Structure 1
């Protein structure tokens, strides 16, 4: 999906919120933000671009200013740690669920709200999850997803944020226990904001339940741009029966792909902005499980 006018204030707010978490004094912060404001797409001068590409430009400036190729490393470690602390709670509600797969999918989508659920105590996060789980998934989309899994021999899972990948691990484990298939989980090669890299994946033991590889993109891009992925990843995705794509960055990067790739993707994300609400015909902050061949545009 190409950027909309709504994306400009959203990306700028993300930049402010993210940089405020780093150890920059006010002079350096202003200097950095002035450089960010000169990015053409954030000035309304370039619209034929996706939000992950714009955010990559922002991320390069942050890395340049801080001198740290992974400036949000500590934040990602904290997000993983906090969600790992509630894994017993997550396993308990999954074991008690009438349809564990349905709940695991909802949890994986809910993991996309990682920034919102960072309370001071594990019980804060548990209460947040319990409340948010009340929102239902689209019934047809879920039944289609379950049917696709039944005939799937090769699965690709495109990860998103640190912390969120703990929920992904639970879903992946459930899927691979139920279905005999080749499965691979793809993470970012280069750190991009709080997106998961190989380090974050290994720190939670994700590689113990599924093969994990990097996407091969040689920049801090928070999305899966296929024309920049490694030949290995491109071939794996082309040959996969089914692709699970997590988060808005991956959706924005893949929505415009050719049908032979796009139509086998199950997109899992939250409706965090008005363009998503309009595209998927949902209200704000609802869980989205969607297959684009079923959406008429």
Structure 2
């Protein structure tokens, strides 16, 4: 995926949002925004993904603010809220589901959607139940079933703190079917992305076979920069689960590995790349997406 025009103001908006979370003054925020604007003007790489370019935006923020992990308190809060919800998710959603694999996939997607800032647990539980009535634009469960072969391995690339608790159910499904699961998290803090610390504090680390990291604070996955342990897990795995927009942005276009994307299309550029509507829920096999793109190209050529 490449940069779209609306990605540019989004980069600046990310600076403002992060500055607010970090409690920076307006003066300091403007100073950082000016430096990010200079980066956009002179150093932006339009042919690279939004996640790739956003990585440098957040490195500028961290360098100029002196704050290495501005979302630390928020991540801890979201992990705590998600852990309190976990018994409800298990007892009222997962264990009552007729199709537990489908429920586990939907719970993983829910983690990418839910607003942890909702004021009460009652409101969150209501929001969760309403979510399960929402249709997905793509739901490639039947294709996933073909990959659930006992003894095989999957690489599960996590997205955010808090959300990682919702991933437990799909990881458990894989384990119960005899698969090995390697969890991948960010190698250093960036935004509210999950790190090893989050995997340990939420006890996700206790249900996977191994944990690898992306090696640094790159937003998404840069296969050229990941450490050797990640490369080995990538080569070894039978298929990949990719959570969230940034991982999609940076892994879109890779077809020599079987990848399942789980996310919500939260902006127009991502929705366009996925051939779906803004706000749609997605569980999509990458080679299914390739077929969709090829059909769209053929239709455009004929029109």
TM-score, normalisation: structure 1: 0.91
- Please give the alpha-carbon distance, in whole angstroms, between the structure 2 residues aligned to 1:191 and 1:45: 22
Tell me the residue number matched to 1:227.
Answer: 224
CA 1:81/1:67 → structure 2, altered by over 3 Å: closer, same or farther? same
Deviation at 1:59, TM superposition (A): 1.2
- Please give the alpha-carbon distance, in whole angstroms, between the structure 1 residues aligned to 2:73 and 2:94: 29
Deviation at 1:152, TM superposition (A): 6.6
- Please give the alpha-carbon distance, in whole angstroms, between the structure 2 residues aligned to 1:123 and 1:242: 37
CA 1:124/1:11 → structure 2, altered by over 3 Å: closer, same or farther? farther
After the TM superposition, list the runs of 4 or more consecutive aligned residues in structure 1 that deviate by more than 4 angstroms: none
CA 1:125/1:11 → structure 2, altered by over 3 Å: closer, same or farther? farther
- Please give the alpha-carbon distance, in whole angstroms, between the structure 1 residues aligned to 2:214 and 2:44: 29
Q: 2:249 aligns with which of 227, 249, 252?
A: 252
Tell me the residue number matched to 2:173.
Answer: 174
Q: Is the 8 A contact 1:157 1:184 kept in 2?
A: yes
Q: Is the 8 A contact 1:109 1:287 kept in 2?
A: yes
Tell me the residue number matched to 2:2.
Answer: 2
Tell me the residue number matched to 1:49.
Answer: 48
Identify the range of structure 1 (269-278 vs 192-201) with the bigger mean alpha-carbon deviation. 269-278
- Say whether residues 1:106 and 2:122 are aligned partners: no
CA 1:260/1:152 → structure 2, altered by over 3 Å: closer, same or farther? farther
Q: Deviation digits for residues 79-119 of structure 1, max 9, x if unmatched?
A: 111111111110111111111110110110121124x3421
Tell me the residue number matched to 2:278.
Answer: 284
Matched ranges for 1:200-279 at <5 A: 200-218=198-216, 220-257=217-254, 259-261=255-257, 264-279=258-273
Task: Please state whether the residue corresponding to 2:211 is helix, strand or coil.
Answer: strand
- Please give the alpha-carbon distance, in whole angstroms, between the structure 2 residues aligned to 1:230 and 1:51: 22
How many positions carry a matched residue from both structures? Answer: 290
Task: Please state whether the residue corresponding to 1:16 is helix, strand or coil.
Answer: helix
Task: Please state whether the residue corresponding to 2:47 is helix, strand or coil.
Answer: coil
- Say whether residues 1:196 and 2:190 are aligned partners: no
Tell me the residue number matched to 1:129.
Answer: 128
- Please give the alpha-carbon distance, in whole angstroms, between the structure 2 residues aligned to 1:24 and 1:201: 28
Task: Please state whether the residue corresponding to 2:22 is helix, strand or coil.
Answer: coil
- Please give the alpha-carbon distance, in whole angstroms, between the structure 2 residues aligned to 1:286 and 1:138: 6
Deviation at 1:186, TM superposition (A): 0.5
Q: Is the 8 A contact 1:223 1:252 kept in 2?
A: yes
- Please give the alpha-carbon distance, in whole angstroms, between the structure 2 residues aligned to 1:77 and 1:170: 20
Tell me the residue number matched to 2:144.
Answer: 145
Matched ranges for 1:13-24 at <5 A: 13-24=13-24
Q: Is the 8 A contact 1:152 1:241 kept in 2?
A: no
Deviation at 1:18, TM superposition (A): 2.2
Task: Please state whether the residue corresponding to 1:245 is helix, strand or coil.
Answer: strand
Q: Is the 8 A contact 2:137 2:280 kept in 1?
A: no
Deviation at 1:268, TM superposition (A): 0.7
Task: Please state whether the residue corresponding to 2:249 is helix, strand or coil.
Answer: helix
In the alignment, structure 1 segments of 5+ residues that lack a partner are: none
TM-score, normalisation: structure 2: 0.89
Deviation at 1:170, TM superposition (A): 2.1
In the alignment, structure 2 segments of 5+ residues that lack a partner are: 294-303
